[in-house]
Amino acid sequence: MFFELSVIIFALAFLFFTIYSILYLIQLRRTAKNIESILNKLDQSLPGIISKIDAIVSDLSETSRMIKMQTAVLANATRKIEGIVDDIADFEQSLRREIEVPVSKALNTYNALIKGVRAFVFALFSSLRP
């Protein structure tokens, strides 16, 4: 009787294992079908996505090229402006050297003339007073 009971327990265990295996295989098949449908959708939409990415990369490349070109133009303009400012500063310094001495002399002469006229007027009015 022990042998028959062991065979029945073994048969039931085998039956449960078989049922579990069948259920597992059915779920595995459903998962494979889902993966297949996802891959089909991806396969259909991937060329469009890739073409859009290529367009974006092309636009970014063109934008980068334009930025580099505009930066070079801006750097060139900046160098020209810097040269002009340096030339103006040099001109201002040379003009200052050329004009400063004669203007200073003229101002000194003018101040001396004013002092002389004041002294004359003061002396004139001092002598007229009783």
- What is the tens place of the pLDDT at every residue in 57-91? 999 999 999 999 999 999 999 999 999 999 999 98
**Model pTM score:** 0.47
- Residue 44, both tokens: 């259909």
Phi, psi dihedrals of residue 30, rounded to the nearest 5°: -60, -45
- What is the tens place of the pLDDT at every residue in 18-59? 999 999 999 999 999 999 999 999 889 888 889 999 999 999
Q: Compute the distance between CA of residue 115 and CA of residue 62 in angstroms, rounded to an integer.
A: 75
CA quadruple 115, 121, 125, 126: dihedral sign = positive
Q: Compute the distance between CA of residue 58 and CA of residue 51 in angstroms, rounded to an integer.
A: 10
Q: Compute the distance between CA of residue 73 and CA of residue 79 in angstroms, rounded to an integer.
A: 10
